[in-house]
Amino acid sequence: MGRGSVYDEIGVRRVINASGSMTYLGGSLIAPEVLAKMDEAAGAFVFIEELLAWASGEIASLTKTDAGLVTTGSAAGILLSTAACLTGNDRERMRALPQTESWKNEIVMQKQHRIGFDHAVGVAGGRIVEVGDAAGTSIDQVKEALSDKTAAILHVVLDPTPTASLEEVADVAHGHGIPVIVDAAAELPPVRNLSAFAEDGGDLVIFSGGKQVSGPNDSGILCGRGDLVAAATAQAFPNGGIGRPLKVSKEQIVGLVFALKRFASLDWDAQVERWRQMAQRMAEILSAAAGVVETDVGFPQGGGRPRIIPRTRVKIDEAMVGHTVMELDEILEQGTPAIAVGAQASQQTIWLNPQHLEDGEDEIAARHLADVLGRGASR
């Protein structure tokens, strides 16, 4: 029985993943050696606090920060970071969350940084103060939003319309004694990013454990300033408080740490070259497909994290193939084999991401898309 064969047994379709480290697809594939460590962890009882202390030291070493915490994902990291900035080490305040009306409870965010997961701020008791507009945000606008009610700034690592940089934000925030939370969920690789955001001024930095780190999909990393990580830890499992429902198992903790150590040891230059070759092959296969206006290898603008992964861009003549790119996306997902891709409706473009393609799946994905386009064009 091979890896993934359980899905054949239970009648759930496997997917050729040309989309990326998507939560709805299960995040990533855990390496066999990491799974082996998780299996070992399942074989004994431990004091979770001791295990978390070990994990904190390992994460701190790899991220060059004071301390770390294994979370149940990046959204959990936002919640726990917010809680830490709201309470500090005040145990009475920890017990009071999410009731924060008379406190410093405002979390400043640039408008372009508003994401579907920032409701975690409110769950912890924070109130988001949005600055800027669709055209961009200046550092002066960030400054103007700060007040005696500001508990933190939440900075999301994105590159859409012009925003105030992390370095600018941190400089202003620290001048007012305000911590900066950095959501860098999908910013690994490169390995240097493990420490880059803290070096640029982030007091608490959040990474996903279930994307290219290839740990459990329900894991994440919170690292940074020792006092703030301690405040987050005090409110997380196995303790009581706002983070108690965000339980991490001993297997998750061990798996995430060993996955992170493996991630930091890999040759990512060689991996990027492998991805580039895959992307180039897919572009070549699709260049002659019906309804394809052009293909190339590049990087999506305004999305497509992490940035270092080359992807195949396929510009589609929707009228010729009789389908929008969103419809093509659905057809591929419902096909045999099921294939997940990225669709960009505004550009009539499909992106094929080689990040999680196994050897040979690049050609399968490209040829299947070419076949779907051909059938559409011949109707």
What's the CA gap between 298 and 313, in Å, rounded?
A: 7
Lookup: tokens for 162: 């012009």
In whole numbers, what is the pLDDT of the chain averaged over residues? 95
> What value does the mean pLDDT take over residues 29-43?
98
Q: How confident is the model at residue 1 (pLDDT cuts 50, 70, 90)?
A: low
CA distances from 244 to 52, 124, 131, 234, 248 (A): 15, 12, 31, 10, 10
pLDDT value of position 117: 86
pLDDT value of position 155: 96
Which domains can be identified in the chain, with CATH numbers? Answer: 5-25+267-377 (3.90.1150.180), 32-265 (3.40.640.10)
Q: What is the pTM of this model?
A: 0.94
Residues present in the chain in total: 379
Q: Is the preceding omega at residue 179 within 30 degrees of 0, hence cis?
A: no
> Comparing 2 with 13, which gets the higher pLDDT?
13
Q: Which of 103, 145, 146, 100 is nearest to 125 (CA)?
A: 100
**Over the stretch 246-295, which tens digit does the pLDDT of each residue have?**
999 999 999 999 999 999 999 999 999 999 999 999 999 999 999 999 99
CA distances from 316 to 18, 253, 294 (A): 17, 44, 8
Rounded to 10 degrees, the C-alpha dihedral 263/264/265/269 comes to: 80
pLDDT value of position 3: 80
pLDDT value of position 163: 86
Q: How confident is the model at residue 301 (pLDDT cuts 50, 70, 90)?
A: low
**Over the stretch 327-362, which tens digit does the pLDDT of each residue have?**
999 999 999 899 999 999 999 999 999 999 999 999
Lookup: tokens for 31: 């390496």
**Over the stretch 152-173, which tens digit does the pLDDT of each residue have?**
999 999 865 678 999 999 999 9
Three-point CA angle 196, 201, 202, nearest 5°: 80
